[in-house]
């Protein structure tokens, strides 16, 4: 092969390579391509782009969490309801309905027994309608009443049949005055409230504490057919959110780590969990490894998220930061990243040219070696 033919081969190969320049693989569009696509999308998506070049352009802070549960006064700890089991003791003097015979058994002459007698009835469960049945007193509705009120209710029912009966009622098994705690806790199950002033975090602690990291947990509270979710880390940080639980509540601790997605020409493409309950864009960029020096464009850093508009509809919004400007680093430090945000690192415009140069170098390196060999033989 002579030198002329080799040069011709080089020219043909270079021409083919240049025509294929646009087909080199890429990790995503450049910054200008993104802005152009947002301006004239096909089809229209209603995407809004925000240039973050001053403090006024920063997105508003995330709304403060709130529990928003109905405010209910704590009920008495001894209020009875369906499913509760009562222990009832009845004390009588003189004529006894529940104790021994009023005639004392003795030797020569029987005498009337004036001493007091006591009888503890078998445990009585409050049925689904809130009633109990007591011998001689009949069927009594006790749901919603305290044990003191039930004592008076039974005593009044026995008047006329027993001489001055005294009644003691105690809660043996409590169902009504309890909450259910489940999910990521040490001892899931039914938790009896001792004071009815236990807070949400108190209930979790009494159930054995939480498993995992507080920043990755969401507490779901179900009260009166209404569900409310709140981050457990927010409960620990703000005592105002740590409201009292109420009998009948259901608490479920859910593992729900917050994360953001990294795409484009970055140091890594990944789904990255939050390192703390709140992170800034500067921290997110740093964790992702920053813009790839061989492929990325620091002037094309984009954060994508859905933002509710005035009507409450979610609108896609793209925030653009030019990290080639010093001020952008300060702005990124005050830019709060939210759960499910997408962080995109734009490709450099010079990326394709760099890839082409590398490709040409790899393609022609053997040919140039041959040319050098031919010339050496001459």
Q: Give the pLDDT of residue 94.
A: 67
Residue 338, token pair as written in the block: 């939210």
Instruction: For residues 67-91, give the mean pLDDT.
Output: 89
Q: Can you list the alpha helix ranges (DSSP code H) found in 44-179? A: 147-158
Mean pLDDT within 19-45: 60
> Among 9-13, 26-30, 136-140, 325-329, which stretch is predicted with the lowest mean pLDDT?
9-13
Show the DSSP H helices in the chain as ranges: 3-19, 31-39, 147-158, 200-206, 232-237, 281-287, 326-333, 351-377
First to last CA, the chain: 12
Superfamily of domain 178-255: Outer membrane lipoprotein wza domain like (3.10.560.10)
Percent of the chain with pLDDT over 90: 53
DSSP assignment, residue 79? B
- The model's confidence at residue 98, banded by pLDDT at 50, 70 and 90, is confident
164 three-state secondary structure: coil
d(CA 339, CA 137): 62
323 close to 332: Cβ distance less than 8 angstroms: yes
Local structure of 158: helix, strand or coil? helix
pLDDT of 77 higher than 80: yes
The mean per-residue pLDDT over the stretch 340-356 comes to: 72
- Give the pairing type, strands 250-255 and 178-183: parallel
Which of the two residues, 159 and 40, has the higher pLDDT score?
159
Q: What fold, for 85-173?
A: wza like fold (3.30.1950)
Residue linked to tokens 């006064």: 73
Strands 226-231 and 189-192 come out as unpaired
Q: What is the 3-state secondary structure (H, E, C) of 338-359?
A: CCCCEEEEEECCCHHHHHHHHH
CATH topology of domain 31-60+259-352: Outer membrane lipoprotein wza fold like (3.10.560)
pTM of the full structure: 0.72
Higher pLDDT among residues 28 and 77, named by residue: 77
**Two structure tokens written together for 339:** 């759960």
pLDDT at residue 7 above 50?
no
Asked whether the domain spanning 178-255 has the same topology as the one spanning 31-60+259-352, the reply is: yes
Q: Report the chain's mean pLDDT, rounded to a whole number.
A: 82
Residue 41 scores a pLDDT above 70: no
Phi/psi of residue 64, each to 5°? Answer: -65, 135
Domain boundaries, the chain: 31-60+259-352, 85-173, 178-255
> Residue 5: pLDDT above 50?
no
């Amino acid at each position: 092969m002579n030198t002329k033919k080799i040069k011709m081969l080089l020219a043909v190969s270079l021409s083919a390579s240049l025509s294929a320049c646009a087909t080199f693989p890429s990790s995503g569009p450049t910054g200008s391509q993104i802005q152009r696509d947002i301006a004239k999308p096909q089809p229209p998506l209603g995407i809004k782009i925000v240039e973050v070049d001053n403090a006024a352009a920063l997105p508003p802070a995330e709304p403060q969490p709130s529990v928003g549960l109905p405010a209910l006064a704590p009920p008495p700890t001894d209020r009875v309801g369906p499913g509760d089991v009562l222990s009832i003791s009845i004390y009588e003097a003189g004529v006894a309905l529940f104790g021994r015979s009023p005639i004392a058994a003795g030797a020569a002459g029987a005498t009337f027994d004036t001493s007091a007698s006591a009888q503890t009835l078998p445990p009585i469960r409050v049925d689904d309608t809130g009633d109990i049945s007591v011998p001689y007193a009949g069927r009594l509705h006790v749901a919603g009443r305290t044990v003191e009120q039930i004592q008076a209710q039974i005593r009044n029912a026995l008047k006329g049949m027993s001489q001055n009966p005294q009644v003691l009622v105690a809660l043996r098994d409590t169902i009504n005055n309890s909450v259910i705690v489940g999910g990521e806790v040490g001892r899931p199950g039914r938790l009896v409230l001792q004071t009815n002033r236990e807070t949400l975090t108190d209930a979790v602690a009494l159930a054995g504490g939480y498993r995992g990291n507080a920043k990755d947990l969401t507490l779901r509270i179900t009260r009166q057919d209404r569900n409310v979710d709140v981050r457990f880390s927010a409960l620990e940080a703000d005592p105002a959110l740590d409201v009292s639980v109420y009998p009948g509540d259901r608490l479920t601790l859910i593992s729900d780590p917050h994360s953001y997605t990294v795409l484009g020409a970055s140091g890594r493409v990944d789904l990255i969990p939050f390192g703390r309950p709140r992170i800034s864009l500067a921290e997110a960029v740093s964790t992702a490894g920053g813009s790839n020096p061989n492929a990325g464009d620091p002037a094309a850093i984009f954060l994508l998220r859905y933002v509710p508009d005035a009507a409450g509809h979610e609108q896609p919004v793209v925030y653009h930061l030019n990290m080639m400007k010093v001020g952008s680093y300060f702005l990124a430090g005050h830019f709060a990243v939210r759960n499910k945000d997408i962080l995109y690192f734009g490709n450099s415009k010079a990326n394709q040219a760099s890839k082409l140069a590398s490709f040409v170098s790899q393609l022609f390196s053997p040919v140039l070696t041959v040319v050098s060999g031919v010339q050496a033989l001459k």
